[in-house]
């Protein structure tokens, strides 16, 4: 088997793992975004709650793949 096959297979496996972790953790980040939205005193331009939850998840999940 060629080396590129293993590279493609590994990157595909990591992509599947990333999506699975995203799907599993998104509800937690959605709840956190809702709590943030309900806090008084937070002003300024905001994204939707769903966009904010996705942004939080996308910024935190890569730490699971370090190492």
Tell me what pLDDT residue 41 has.
Answer: 75
- Predicted TM-score (pTM) of the model is 0.71
Tell me what pLDDT residue 39 has.
Answer: 84
The domains of the chain are located at 8-39
- The answer to whether residues 21 and 29 touch, using CB atoms and an 8 Å cutoff, is no
Give, for all 67 residues of the chain, the pLDDT tens digit.
Answer: 555 556 668 788 888 988 999 999 999 999 999 998 888 776 667 789 999 999 999 999 888 777 6
Tell me what pLDDT residue 18 has.
Answer: 87
Tell me what pLDDT residue 27 has.
Answer: 96
Tell me what pLDDT residue 67 has.
Answer: 65
Q: Which residue's structure tokens are 């990157």?
A: 11
Indicate if the alpha-carbon torsion angle 25, 26, 31, 35 is positive or negative: positive
């Amino acid at each position: 088997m060629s080396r590129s096959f293993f590279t493609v297979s590994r990157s595909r496996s990591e992509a599947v793992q990333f999506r699975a972790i995203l799907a599993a953790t998104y509800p937690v980040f959605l709840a956190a975004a809702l709590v943030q939205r309900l806090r008084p005193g937070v002003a300024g331009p905001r994204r939707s709650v769903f966009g904010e939850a996705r942004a939080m998840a996308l910024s935190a999940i890569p730490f699971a793949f370090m190492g």
